[in-house]
Structure formats: C-alpha cells, structure tokens
Amino acid sequence: MLIDIALAVCLVYGFYTGYKNEPLNKIFRVLPFLGGFLFAIYLAPLFYDKLAAMWGSDSIILFALSFILCFFIGWSFSRYLADIFTVGAKKMKISKPEKSLNGVTVSFLLAILFSGLLAFFSKADIISEKTRNNSLSLETLESFPVKLKGSIERFKPGFAKFYEKSNEIIEK
C-alpha cells in the first residue's frame, strides 16, 4: 500500500508540475521532426529500393530524395496527429490541451523514474516482504523498465538497415 501511495503522489505531482510550468513545450514542438526522422529511417530504404527498381538506376541523390520525402510524410503525419489531439481536446471542453499533455507527459516520465528506482530497490532487497505483499502495483512497476528496454531494442533493426543501405549506396 505504501508503494501505491508513493506512486499516486508521484503521478499527481508530475501532472501538477507539467500543467503549471509547461516544461515540455519546446520538446513538443520538436516531436513532429522526431516522428519524421524515425519514419524516414524505417521507410527510406524500402522506398529507395522501389524507386531504384522503377527507374533502373541507383544513386546517392535518389537515396537522399527518398529520405527527404519519407521525412516530410512522417513529419506531416505527426503534425496531423497533434492537430487531431488538439481539436479533440477542445471538443471535449479541455481548455488548454497543451497544458494537459504536458502534465500527462511529466507524470509518465516520473512514473518511469519511480519504476526504475523501485526495480532497483526490489533487486537490492530493500523492500520488505510485507510491503511487497500489500502493494497492488509493484509487479507492474517492476516489469516496466524491462518492457521499456524491450521497446527501445525494437528500433535497432530499422537503424541497422538504414545504416547498411546508406553505406552500400555511398560505396557505389
């Protein structure tokens, strides 16, 4: 129960801090570019292969154009999703959706930090058995860092493929 109360305090504090101070406004302006970059990393090699097969030639300029086109598509899609969120939030009468998104994001980041600390304390046997048994969220919180690491690991094949394809094109 103590762990659940600490998690609730962490989430409420994170939401309050994010809503009040808006620390992530600059980051949210960068997110569409990050979305475009990730989209281009994953799809530019595939798009390039299709274009090179269609035109019967392959060059670094064609690869750069396919990357730029995929980046623009990913950036536009990310902006579109952000606009849908803003319009939907305004329809639900949320007066400041950007502030609410800041609050939720800071809450989420603090939950990640809390779960990492909790996993460390659990592995170090600092948490007593009684506290462990009374907690409703301990099992989920302990598994969260492992799941987060697995999610990050899923990005590696896309980056590796992009790296291999770009090196192959540069060498030609």
The torsion angles phi and psi of 40, rounded to 5 degrees, stand at: -70, -40
CB within 8 Å of 87: residues ≥ 6 apart: none
Residue type, 169: I
Which pLDDT score is estimated for 76? 92
Residue scoring higher pLDDT (23 or 157):
157
Tell me the pTM: 0.63
Mean pLDDT within 93-119: 82
Query: Over the chain, what is the mean pLDDT?
Result: 83
Domain extents for the chain? Answer: 2-171
CA 43 to chain CA centroid, nearest Å: 18
3-class SS at 151? helix
Please calculate the CA angle 154-43-59 and round it to the nearest 5 degrees.
130
Which pLDDT score is estimated for 29? 75
Share of the chain above pLDDT 90, in %: 7
Mean pLDDT within 82-111: 79
Digit-coded pLDDT (tens) for 52-92: 888 877 777 888 888 899 999 999 998 888 788 777 777 87
Residue scoring higher pLDDT (171 or 112):
112
Digit-coded pLDDT (tens) for 11-35: 899 888 888 877 666 667 777 888 8
d(CA 157, CA 163) in angstroms, rounded, equals 10
Residue type, 165: K
Q: Is the pLDDT of residue 10 over 70?
A: yes
